Structure 1
Amino acid sequence: MKQVFLRFTLIGALCLINLVGAFAQTVVTGKVVDEKTSEPIIGASVTIGSGTNLKGAVTDMDGKFTLETPSTATITFRSVGYQTQTRTIRNAGRKVNLGEIELSYESTALDVVTVIASVVPKDRITPVPVSNIKLADIESKSFNTEFPELVKSTPSVYVTKSGGGFGDSRMALRGFDMTNIGVLINGVPINDMENGKVYFSNWAGLTDVASFIQIQRGIGASRLAISSVGGTMNIVTKNVDAKRGGMFFSGIANDGYLKYGFNFSTGLMENGWAVTASGSTSYGDGYIKGTDFRGYNYFLNVSKKINEQHTLSFTAFGAPQWHNQRSSMYTQKQYEENPDGIRMNLEYGILEGKVYSPKYNWYHKPQISLNHLWKIDNKSTLSTAVYASFARGGGRNAAGLQPVSKEDKDNGIRDYRNYITAYKGQLSKEALRTNDNLIDWESVYGMNAANGDAGSKVILANSVNQHNWYGILSTYQNKLDENFTLTAGFDGRYYVGEHYKEVENLLGGKYFATGDLVGRDYDIVKIGDEDKKVVKKGEMFDYYNKGRVVWGGLFAQGEYRNDYISAFLSGSLSYQSYRYDVPYLYSSYNYDKLISENIRDVKKSDVKTFIPISIKGGLSYKFLDYNNIFVNAGYFTRAPKFAGVFLNYSTELNKNVKNEKILTFEAGYGFSNEFVGINFGGYYTKWDDRFLRRSGSNRDFYNFTNMSATHKGLELEVNARPLDNLKLTAMASLGDWKWGNKTHFDIYDDKQKNIGQGEIDLNGIHVGNSAQTTFALGFDWEAFENLHLRGNLNFFGKNYADFEPAYRVGYDKDKKEYVTNYSGDAWKMPNYTLVDLSASYKLNMDKVSVSFFGGVNNLFNKKYISDATDGSKLDKAGKRTGEDALVWYGFGRTWQVGMRVNF
C-alpha cells in the first residue's frame, strides 16, 4: 500500500512540476540577421503558437526582439524574401538569449550573384582565405573614404591615395597591383579588357550601395578565368537586400567636401516586384592643392520574382565625374621647401578665379545588366547575366613639348620644356609662373597669341579613352546529392576600345602645328620657310587606334561538403584574341630595325590568339567542433596584356609574346566559436614569363620580357567578442615579394623609336610600393545602447620604392651595349603607423531612425611616404638613400561628419 501511495505521490509531483513549467514564462531575446551579410533584418516576425493562440513580436531597427514564451516552446522566424526558420527551447530559465538567428534568402537576386560571383558564405569552412567587410563598416567610413580604403585592415592589403585626386586611390594584394586582382560587381568582372586596371573614380557610387565586400586572397573560389593572381574582390550591391525602406544622407568633411543623396527600396512586394534606387552627388576642393572635383552617382535595380522557378533582376549604375589631378612625384626636399608641404602640386593655376589644371580627368562608365535565375528543380539552377558597359571620357595634358636648351641641361633640367610643364618638380626658365609658383595662365595665353601665324607653342589636349563592352555569364549548378555539387558555365565578352588625342584648348593661339597628324584633311599653313599641317580645337593628332578583344571561356567546378570536409576542384579554358586597328598612322613615325618597313601601310594587325587554362583545388577539414585546416593549390596560364602583344602602339605583333605562367599554393588553420575566430595561413606564388612596361627618367620607357617574381608570406586574422557590446579585430601579414632572374629589355623614346636594348639583373629586388609587413588592431565598442565607438591602428613596414630602370642600366661605350650598373635593392621607405577613430549614434523612433556619425583618419597627423620611385644616390654601404627618390606623401589628418535618416 505504501508503494502505491509513493508512486501516486511521485507521479503527482512530476505532473505539478510539468504544469508549473508549462505556465512559467521565459523572456527570449535575440537578433535576426542576414545569413550572407550578418546585417540586421528589420521587421522580421518572431512568433509562437498559431491561430487564436498566435503570439509574437517584430524585430526593431537593429534586428533585435524580445518575446515572452513558455519555458518550452517552438519559436518561428519569418521575413519576406527569406526562408522560414524555427528554434526550440526546453525547460528554459527566466531569461534566454538566442544570439543571432540567421535567415537565408529564398530564390532572389542574391542567389544569382552568389552563384556567378562565387561569394563564399561566412559560415562555410572554406579552403580559401576570406575576409568580409559588412554594411555597418561601410556606412561608418564611406563618406570621405574612397572604396579601396574600406579594406585596408585586411591581411596583405596595401592601399594609398596615389597622387591624391578624387578616385585615384590604388590597392595591392599580396604585392600584386589592381591589374592582377580580379574585381567583380554582382558577379560581373570590371577589370579593363586591355590593361586589367580598375579606376575607382569610375565606381565612386559603390560606397552608397554596397551591401558587403568580400576579399578572397590567392586563388579564391571564383570559377571565372579572371586576373586573380593576388586575389579576388567581390562587391555585392543592395539590390539583393529585398528589404523595404529608404535613407537620406548628407555629410561634410575637410577641404570643402560635401555629399548628399538617397537610397530607397520597396522590398520584395507581394506581387513579386522589388525596386531599389540610389542617387548622390559630392564635390570639394581636394586635400592636395588644385585637385577639386565633382561626382554624381546613380543606381537602379528592378527585380521580379515571376514564380518559384524564375527571377529576373535588372541593374543599371554609373558614376560620372570630373577631377583635377596631380600626376608628378617630387623629392622629399622639394616638398620641404614648398610652402604647401605634402599638399604640393605644381600642375595647376588660377584662371578667371577658378582652378585650371593641365591634369584633368573626366569619365562616365555606366554598366547595365540583366540577371535571370531559373530554379529548374529542387537540385539545379541556371543563372545568367547579360551585361554591357559604355565608357566615355579621358584625361587632359599639355602638348607642345620642346627639347631643353644646353643652358637648361647645365642647370639640371633633363626633360622637355614649355610654358606650362613642371617635370619632377623642376621648372625650365621658359615656364610661366606666378609669384605663388602656380601656372600663369594669362601669360600663357598672351605668349601663344603673340606667336601670331606661327600658332600656339603649347596647348591642352585630351587623351580620349572610351570603349564598348558586351558580355554574358551563364552558370549551371546541380546539387547531385546531399554532399556533392557540380557547377559549370560560360563566360563570353566582346570589347572595343577607342583611343585618340584631340585639341582641347589652343590657349590663345590660332592653331597648333605638329608633325604627328592622324587625319588627312588638315589646313596647311606656311610657318617660316616651311609649309606645315595644323590642327584646331576638336581635331585629332598624335594617335588614333582601336583595340579589339574577343573572349570566350568555359569553366567547371566540383564541390564536396559534409559536416567535416569541404573540398573543390575547378578548371577553366579560355579563348582570347587581340586585334589592333590604326585607321591613321603617325606621319612622322620613326621605325627602326625592329619594325618592318612596310608596317606603315598596315592599318589592321593580324589577330593574335591565346588559350589560357587554369586548374585549382582545395580541401578543408573540420575537427574537434571548432577547428579546421585547409590546403589549396592552383596552376594557370594567362594571356599577356594588350600592350605586351602590340609593342609601342604599332600593328606589328610582338614575336616573343607568350602566355604568362602562375603557380600558387597555400595552407592554413582556423578556429571559430561564439567568442573568437582565428585564421592563420601561409602562401607561395611563382609568376614566370611576365611582361612589364616601366617609364624611365627622361620620358622614355622600358619593355621587359620574360620577367619572374616570387611572392610568399604568412597571414593572421583574429575576430573576438569578449563582451556582448565589444568586438575586437587583429591582423598581421608578413610578406617576402621579390623579382627574380635576368630579363631582357628594350628602350623606346616618346616617339616609339627603339633607342637601345639589353639585359638587366633584378634578382632579389623587392617588389615595390606595397608594404610587405602589416599589422592592424581594431575595436567596435557599443558604449551605450546604439552608441558605437570604433578605432583602428594600422602599421605598414618593409615597403620598398618601385625600381627605376634608368638608374639600374647604363651604356658601356667599350662594349657598345647597355649593361646593369646597379643590382642592389631599391630604397626602403620609412615604416609608419596610422590611427583612425570614428563614432556613430542611432536614434530610434517610430518607423524612423536617425544615425549621426563622425570620424578622424590619421588622428595624430602622421607624416609618411606612401608611394615612391627609386632614385640613384647611394650611401657608403652602396645602398639607396632615397634622397633623390620621387615620392608621394599620404594624407595628413582628415575628418568627416554626417547623418542618415532611415525609414
Structure 2
Amino acid sequence: MNKSLRIKITLLLQFFALSIFAQQKITGKIVDSLTNESLPGASIGFKGTKNFTSASLDGSFSLKKLDGLNILVVSFIGYNPREIVLKEGQVNLGAVKITPNANLMSEVAILGSNIAIDRKTPVAVSTVNALQIEEKGSSQEFPELLNSTPGVQATKQGGGFGDSRVSIRGFSTASLAIMVNGIPINDMENGSVYWSNWASLREVTSSMQVQRGLGANKLVVPSLGGTVNIITRSTDTEKGGSISQTIGNDGFLKTSVYLSTGRSDKGWSFSAQGSRTSGNMYAEGLQFTGYNYFFNVSKMFNDHHTISLTGMGAPQTHGQRSSKQSIQAFESAPQGIKFNPDWGVKYGQVVNVKNNYFNKPIISLNDYWTIDENSSLSTVLYASRGTGGGGSSLGNVPLTRIGLYDYAPYDLDAAIKANKSGVDGAAGSYLYASVNNHNWFGAMSTYNRKFSKYFNFTGGVDLRYYEGIHYVKITDLLGADYVTYPWQGINSSSTYRGDINNPNPILKTNDKFEYNYNSKVLWEGVSGQVEYAKDNVTAFVSLAASNTSYKRIDFFNYKPDDPARETPYKNFLGYQAKGGANYNLDEHNNVFANLGYLEKAPIFTNAFLEYKNFINPDAKNEKLFSYELGYGYRSKTLTANINLYRSTYKDRARAVNQTAPDGSVYTFNLSGVNELHQGVEVDFRYKPVASVSINGAFSVGDWKYLNDIGPVTVNAQTGSSAQPPTISKLYLNGLKVGNQAQTTAFLGLDLQVLPELKLGADYYYYSNYSADFNFYSYNKPGAKPWKIPDYGLLNLNGVLKFKLANLNSSIIINVNNVFNTKYVADAYDANGTGTASGSTVFYGFGRTWTTGLKINF
C-alpha cells in the first residue's frame, strides 16, 4: 500500500471516528441525594447554551454531546443547581445526585437517620417535593398536601386557620410521628399536632415525606400509622431570594419574602424568610392573621464539620368553628354551609367568641461531624416555648343572637347592656380562654458507623423535658365588674370547680378559675439499628427503648402544704423492635417486607383520674404489631407501588367527654380497646411523553374494633353533681373505626403545554367513611355510626413563567373544588342510630381560589 493511500485511509478513519463521537450522547440519572428518589423533569444542559433536556420518569436523561463543551448544568426547583465537568471521553455519568436547598448538616445529620431511600429502605413511602408544594399548595392547609398519598385523608374540620387534621391508615395524628427536620413535634401530653402552630411552615418546606406504617424512623416515637417528615430549607449555597404575593377568596392575602447570602469563601451562610397571611377563610366568622419567620445561620468549617443554628415560628390568631351542627341547621341557615354559630359582634366589630391564639417558636442548634471515612456523629439541641390558648363564652345568662335570629352572630352589645343593668355589677355572661403554655427542651444525638464492607450501625439518644401550664382565665367581662360564686363552669350543667384556697372568689379579667395545674413529662430514649447492604439486598434490624415519666401539680384542688399537691413521677417503659428487607429483582422491579412490635405510654390524661392527682392504677402501655409486604416497579415512563399491610392495635387508651341522656357531660378513660387496621394501597406515576405526567393512588382499608369493653368506670365528671352512671359494657366489636374514609382514590394530570405554561388537574374520591361517634351511646347492642355519603373533588392549577425586569417570575393560579361540590367532611354520630338526623357535621369548603405572583432574584 503506497503512502498516499495510507494517508487517505487514515484520514477517512479519523473522520469516521469524529463523526461517531459527534453523535455521542451524555447519559445518566438525576436523583435526590437524600432519598435516592428519581427527579423527573430535572433540567440538564450544557452551560451557556440552550441545548437542554428533561429527565424521564425514572430520572434518566440523554443529551447530545456538543463539540468543545464540557460543563453540564443540572437544576430542579427546590434543589441546589450542580455543575459537572465532563472528563475526556466521559459519556455515562451514572447516578447524578443533587441536594435539596439545604446544607450538608441538614441533609445528613438531621434527616439521614429518618429518611426512606427508594429501592433500599423496606417501607411504603411517598414524597411531596417543593415543586408540588409551590404549584398546588394554594390556600390548602399543610396536611391537605398529603391527600394524593394512598391511605391518607386530611380535612379542614371546622375550617379555622390551621385547624385541619390528618389520618393515615385509620390512625389519627396522636398515633402518628410528625417531625420537622428530625425533631418530633407531637404534643408531649396527648400526641396531637396543632397545625395552626405550623400553618406557615409550607413557605420554607423543601419536601415532605410520608412513611406509612412503622416507617424508617429510628427514634422511639408513636408511628403506629405512619411518619411525616417535614424538611425545611436551610441555607442555599447560591445567593438570591424571592418575593411573592398571593390573593384569594374571602380576603385571603399572603406576602412572603425569602433571602439567602449563599455560602461565603469562609464557609458562612445565612438565610431568612418571613410572611404574613390574613383573611376570613371560607365560612363566616373565621377571621385570621398569621405570621411566619424562619432563619438559618451555618458555618462549614471544613468538609468534615458543619454547625447550624435554625429558628422558626408562626404566631397567629384565628376564629374557630368548633360546634358541629345538624344537617338540618345548615339547610335552614341563609348562609348555608358557611354558617358558623361561634362568633359575635361587639361595638360593630367582629369578635371570634370561639378563637385560638398561639405562638410556638422553636430554635435548634445542629452539629454534624464526619469523624473519619467510616463514622459520623450528629447532634441537635432544641428548645420551644409555647404561649396561647383558645376561648369561648360562659355565664348564667346565655348569649343571645342579633335580633334573636337563630342564625345570626352573638349580640355581645346586648350582653354588655344586660351586664351593666345588673344591680350588683356581676356578669351574667362573659368570655374566657383555656390557656395551654409550655416549655420544651430536647437533645438528640446519632452516631453512625460502617464497621464492615456490608454492615452499618446507627445508634441514638433522645432526651426531652416538657412542662405544660394549664389554666382557665377570664378575658372579657362584657361590661360587668366581676364574676362571683356561685356560678357555672365550662359545661352548661356543671357546678363551680375552682380554687379551694379561695372558695368564694370575686374574679376579674385575667383571674384564673375552673382548673389550674402543671404537667411535667420526661422522656429518655435510646435506639440502635444494624443495616446490611450487598448487591441487590438491603436489610435492617432495629431496637429501641424509652421511658416516659408523668407528673401532675395541682394548684386548685390542694392546699399549698398538702403533699398530695404534687404527684411523684409515674413511669411507663416503652420499646420497639422492627426489621425488614428489600430485594431488587432487577433494575426495574423490587420487593420488600417489614414487621415490628412496639409499646408506648398512654396519654397524660389517661394516667390521672378525675382532674386531680389520682394516679390511674389501670393505665398501661398501648401495643402495636404490624407487618407489610410491598412491590415496586421503575422504568423511564412508569413507576408503581403496591403495598399490603396488617396492624393489630391493642390496649388503646382514650380520655373522652361523653353526653348522658339527661344532657350531663361526663369524662371517663377508656382502656383496653383493640383495633385491626389492614388494607391494600397502590400508587403510580406515568409519563408517556416529556410534556405529560399522570399520577394516581388508590387504597382500600378495613379498620375495625375487635372487642367490647367493660365495665367502664367514670373517672372524671364535668356534668351535674349527681352520681355518674355505671356503664357495664360498651358494644364496639365489629364497628368500623371512624373519622377517615377507608376507600380513597386520587388521579392527577400535569401538562406542559408550552415551556412557559403548565396546567394541572387533580381529582380526589372518598368512600366507606364512618362518622366519629359518642362511645356513651354504645352501652347497648345494635348501635352503629352513620356512614358519610361518598364524594369527589376536582382541583385545577396553572403556572405561567416569564421574565419581569430580567428576573425569573411566575404566576400560579389554583381553583379548588371546581364544581362547588357540597359534601360532609367530618361528622359525629351522637346517639348511635346510624342516621344523618342523629349526627352533627362540618361541611367541606365550596369552591375556593388563589392567584399568586412570585419573583426570584
Cα distance in 1, alignment partners of residues 125 and 64 from structure 2: 38
Match of 1:119 among 115, 120, 123: 115
Higher-Rg member (1/2): 1
Name the aligned partner's letter for residue 104 of structure 2. Answer: T
Aligned counterpart, 2:490: none
SS of residue in 2 equivalent to 1:149: helix
Alpha-carbon displacement from aligned partner over 1:811-847 (angstroms, at most 9, x marks no partner): xxxxxxxxxx233431111000000000011114686
Query: For structure 1, which runs of at least 5 residues remain unmatched after alignment?
Result: 48-55, 403-417, 422-426, 525-531, 588-597, 810-820, 875-879
Q: Contact 1:175 / 1:770 at 8 angstroms: preserved in 2? A: yes
> Does 2:602 correspond to 1:648?
no
Q: Quote how far apart the aligned CAs of 1:343 are.
A: 1.1
SS of residue in 1 equivalent to 2:328: helix
Cα distance in 2, alignment partners of residues 43 and 703 from structure 1: 56
Q: Quote how far apart the aligned CAs of 1:767 are.
A: 0.7
> Does 2:442 correspond to 1:476?
no
> Does 2:286 correspond to 1:291?
yes
Q: How does 1:683-832 map to 2 (within 5 A)?
A: 683-697=645-659, 698=663, 699-744=665-710, 745-747=712-714, 748-750=716-718, 755-758=724-727, 759-809=729-779, 821-832=780-791
Change (3 A) 1:847 1:312: farther
Cα distance in 1, alignment partners of residues 63 and 181 from structure 2: 37
Name the aligned partner's letter for residue 861 of structure 1. Answer: N
Aligned counterpart, 1:203: 198
SS of residue in 1 equivalent to 2:215: coil
Q: Quote how far apart the aligned CAs of 1:716 are.
A: 0.2
> Does 2:398 correspond to 1:419?
yes
Name the aligned partner's letter for residue 419 of structure 1. Answer: P
Q: Contact 1:171 / 1:177 at 8 angstroms: preserved in 2? A: yes
Q: Quote how far apart the aligned CAs of 1:599 are.
A: 13
Q: Contact 2:580 / 2:593 at 8 angstroms: preserved in 1? A: yes
SS of residue in 1 equivalent to 2:203: helix
Q: Contact 2:158 / 2:321 at 8 angstroms: preserved in 1? A: yes
> Does 203-212 or 598-607 show the bigger shift?
598-607
> Does 2:816 correspond to 1:857?
yes
Q: How does 1:309-348 map to 2 (within 5 A)?
A: 309-348=304-343
Match of 2:836 among 858, 866, 882: 882
Q: How does 1:524-673 map to 2 (within 5 A)?
A: 532-585=504-557, 602-673=564-635
Q: Quote how far apart the aligned CAs of 1:463 are.
A: 0.7
Change (3 A) 1:533 1:517: farther
Q: Contact 2:44 / 2:54 at 8 angstroms: preserved in 1? A: no
Aligned counterpart, 2:492: none
Match of 1:35 among 21, 33, 36: 33
Name the aligned partner's letter for residue 611 of structure 1. Answer: L
Alpha-carbon displacement from aligned partner over 1:618-669 (angstroms, at most 9, x marks no partner): 1111113210111000001000000110123211100111111110000011
Name the aligned partner's letter for residue 306 of structure 1. Answer: F
Using the size of structure 1 for normalisation, the TM-score is 0.86
Name the aligned partner's letter for residue 813 of structure 2. Answer: G
Q: Quote how far apart the aligned CAs of 1:126 are.
A: 2.2
Name the aligned partner's letter for residue 718 of structure 2. Answer: D
SS of residue in 2 equivalent to 1:283: strand
Cα distance in 1, alignment partners of residues 685 and 458 from structure 2: 32
Q: Contact 1:321 / 1:364 at 8 angstroms: preserved in 2? A: yes
Change (3 A) 1:510 1:873: same
Using the size of structure 2 for normalisation, the TM-score is 0.90
Q: Contact 1:517 / 1:586 at 8 angstroms: preserved in 2? A: no
Q: Contact 2:658 / 2:775 at 8 angstroms: preserved in 1? A: yes
Identity of aligned residues (%): 36
Change (3 A) 1:654 1:673: same
How many residues are aligned here?
830
Aligned counterpart, 2:493: none
Change (3 A) 1:693 1:41: same
Cα distance in 1, alignment partners of residues 265 and 130 from structure 2: 26
Name the aligned partner's letter for residue 705 of structure 2. Answer: W
Aligned counterpart, 2:456: 485
Aligned counterpart, 1:869: 828
Q: Quote how far apart the aligned CAs of 1:868 are.
A: 0.8
Cα distance in 2, alignment partners of residues 133 and 785 from structure 1: 23
Q: Contact 1:637 / 1:659 at 8 angstroms: preserved in 2? A: yes
Q: Quote how far apart the aligned CAs of 1:237 are.
A: 0.6
> Does 12-21 or 131-140 show the bigger shift?
12-21
Name the aligned partner's letter for residue 550 of structure 1. Answer: L
Query: For structure 2, which runs of at least 5 residues remain unmatched after alignment?
Result: 487-495
Cα distance in 2, alignment partners of residues 665 and 44 from structure 1: 41
Cα distance in 2, alignment partners of residues 778 and 41 from structure 1: 16
Q: Quote how far apart the aligned CAs of 1:347 are.
A: 1.5
Q: Contact 1:40 / 1:61 at 8 angstroms: preserved in 2? A: no
Q: Contact 1:73 / 1:89 at 8 angstroms: preserved in 2? A: no
Cα distance in 1, alignment partners of residues 353 and 144 from structure 2: 27
Q: Quote how far apart the aligned CAs of 1:786 are.
A: 2.4
Name the aligned partner's letter for residue 418 of structure 2. Answer: M
Q: Quote how far apart the aligned CAs of 1:325 are.
A: 0.6
Change (3 A) 1:689 1:25: closer
Change (3 A) 1:380 1:435: closer
Name the aligned partner's letter for residue 198 of structure 2. Answer: W
> Does 11-20 or 573-582 show the bigger shift?
11-20
Q: Contact 2:448 / 2:457 at 8 angstroms: preserved in 1? A: yes
Cα distance in 1, alignment partners of residues 720 and 184 from structure 2: 32
Cα distance in 2, alignment partners of residues 305 and 603 from structure 1: 50
Q: Contact 2:305 / 2:369 at 8 angstroms: preserved in 1? A: yes
Q: Contact 2:419 / 2:480 at 8 angstroms: preserved in 1? A: yes
Cα distance in 1, alignment partners of residues 791 and 821 from structure 2: 8
Higher relative contact order (CA 8 A, sep 6+): 2
Q: Contact 1:688 / 1:706 at 8 angstroms: preserved in 2? A: yes
Aligned counterpart, 2:807: 848
Alpha-carbon displacement from aligned partner over 1:700-741 (angstroms, at most 9, x marks no partner): 234211111110000001011111111110100000000121
Alpha-carbon displacement from aligned partner over 1:83-102 (angstroms, at most 9, x marks no partner): 8756679699xxx9x99943
Change (3 A) 1:808 1:483: same
Cα distance in 2, alignment partners of residues 260 and 508 from structure 1: 38
Cα distance in 1, alignment partners of residues 82 and 375 from structure 2: 18
Q: Quote how far apart the aligned CAs of 1:457 are.
A: 1.8
Q: Quote how far apart the aligned CAs of 1:433 are.
A: 3.6
Q: Quote how far apart the aligned CAs of 1:13 are.
A: 4.2
Match of 2:797 among 824, 828, 838: 838
Q: Quote how far apart the aligned CAs of 1:558 are.
A: 1.0
Cα distance in 2, alignment partners of residues 155 and 896 from structure 1: 26
Name the aligned partner's letter for residue 858 of structure 1. Answer: N
> Does 243-252 or 635-644 show the bigger shift?
243-252
Match of 1:218 among 213, 237, 242: 213
Q: Contact 1:243 / 1:268 at 8 angstroms: preserved in 2? A: yes
Q: Contact 1:84 / 1:103 at 8 angstroms: preserved in 2? A: no
Change (3 A) 1:280 1:117: farther
> Does 390-399 or 29-38 show the bigger shift?
29-38
Cα distance in 1, alignment partners of residues 628 and 96 from structure 2: 33
> Does 2:628 correspond to 1:678?
no
Alpha-carbon displacement from aligned partner over 1:36-68 (angstroms, at most 9, x marks no partner): 487799999957xxxxxxxx6699999999998
SS of residue in 1 equivalent to 2:565: coil
Q: Contact 1:765 / 1:824 at 8 angstroms: preserved in 2? A: no
Name the aligned partner's letter for residue 463 of structure 1. Answer: S
Cα distance in 2, alignment partners of residues 895 and 81 from structure 1: 31
Q: Quote how far apart the aligned CAs of 1:357 are.
A: 2.7
Change (3 A) 1:612 1:66: closer
Q: Contact 1:419 / 1:432 at 8 angstroms: preserved in 2? A: no
Change (3 A) 1:20 1:680: closer
